[in-house]
Amino acid sequence: MSRVTVRRPVLRVRQAVPAHRIDSLAAEEPLEIRVGGEPLTVTMRTPGDDFDLAAGFLVSEGTVAAPADIVAIRYCAGATRGGLNTYNVVDVTLAPGVAAPRARNFYTTSSCGVCGKASLEAVRTVARWDVRDDPVELSLETVAALPDRLRAAQRVFDRTGGLHAAGLFTAAGEPLCVREDVGRHNAVDKLLGWALRTGRLPLRSAVLMVSGRASFELVQKAVMGGVPVLAAVSAPSSLAVELAAERGLTLIGFLRGESMNVYTCDQRLNVTPGGGNGSSAARPAG
């Protein structure tokens, strides 16, 4: 069994009948991210795709935007008495001329993506790409199918029931990459890191689908990755809607089958039955 899951004994009661069994839990461990050997932040995450997570975190911070911005990412020796590698510490070497971000004041929990920011204004990181002019158009059928397509790719969730998922899809609904993590912001950072390391940024005409709610930090991360559309199965926050409107991102919430709320930039969704096939021609709002 990999470190993604942990097996523990439990007492399971079904219809008043108790039984002892072994249950699989989603692993949660700290990951310290260092830049140039200096501690930057600690986040609670599900082990796996750690290099993508570190790279994606730096994309979200506005530090890097291209593969060449990062020289290397490596695991460091952990804090064990014997100096063994815990695989819970990664060090990122930035290219010459790429300024390191300021260290976070606190660790980041698996439920929060912006802990340690000095102020709300500091969270409004200046994006390198403007998604307002992205002309992607999505059909209603494509958007409605995204939750099921994301759920079908959640392999660890099937064993634990305890992970968030984030997926990148084309305008036609084809999956590009899916990541799982105990933290929804970590899952998105892993996607952004994958996109950075494979030279896919900015993610123009792509759709980011998340399994939980649409929070401010997820909208921020989508904008930082150049993603024009963010869809979530649950509700957005007021600040998430405000930021999406400000940055020109299409924000969809409560996406369950053909039912959804489009909170911002609804011109990208073609609601005509059978209309639209993921073309790049924008439809005027009306």
- Give the tens place of pLDDT for each residue, 52-61: 999 999 999 9
Place of tokens 């790409």: 129
Predicted local distance difference test score (pLDDT) of residue 286: 28
Contact present, 64 and 199 (Cβ < 8 Å): no
- Side-chain-facing half-sphere of 52: CA atoms under 13 Å: 23
Residues in the chain: 286
Predicted local distance difference test score (pLDDT) of residue 284: 31
Predicted local distance difference test score (pLDDT) of residue 7: 85
The pTM is what?
A: 0.86
With cut-offs at 50, 70 and 90, classify the pLDDT of residue 3: confident
Predicted local distance difference test score (pLDDT) of residue 104: 66
- Give the tens place of pLDDT for each residue, 93-105: 999 999 998 876 5
| 3-class DSSP state of 270 | strand
Place of tokens 């064993």: 159
Least confident of 44-48, 75-79, 159-163: 159-163
Contact present, 225 and 204 (Cβ < 8 Å): no
Contact present, 168 and 206 (Cβ < 8 Å): yes
In Å, what is the CA distance from 155 to each residue of 161, 163, 285?
Answer: 10, 10, 38
Q: How far apart are CA 148 and CA 276, in angstroms?
A: 20
Distance from CA of residue 124 to its chain's centroid?
Answer: 17
Predicted local distance difference test score (pLDDT) of residue 283: 34
- Give the tens place of pLDDT for each residue, 174-192: 999 999 998 999 999 999 9
Contact present, 242 and 219 (Cβ < 8 Å): no
The verdict on whether 112 is a catalytic residue reads: yes
Q: How far apart are CA 266 and CA 245, in angstroms?
A: 10
| Range list of β-strands (E), 159-218 | 164-169, 175-181, 207-210
With cut-offs at 50, 70 and 90, classify the pLDDT of residue 280: very low
* Greater pLDDT, 1 or 2: 2
- The mean of the pLDDT values for the chain is 86
Predicted local distance difference test score (pLDDT) of residue 24: 82
Q: How far apart are CA 251 and CA 183, in angstroms?
A: 20
Torsion of CA 134, 152, 185, 202, to 10 degrees: -30
Exactly one of 112, 115, 177, 265 is catalytic; name it.
112
Q: Which tokens belong to 82?
A: 């014997």
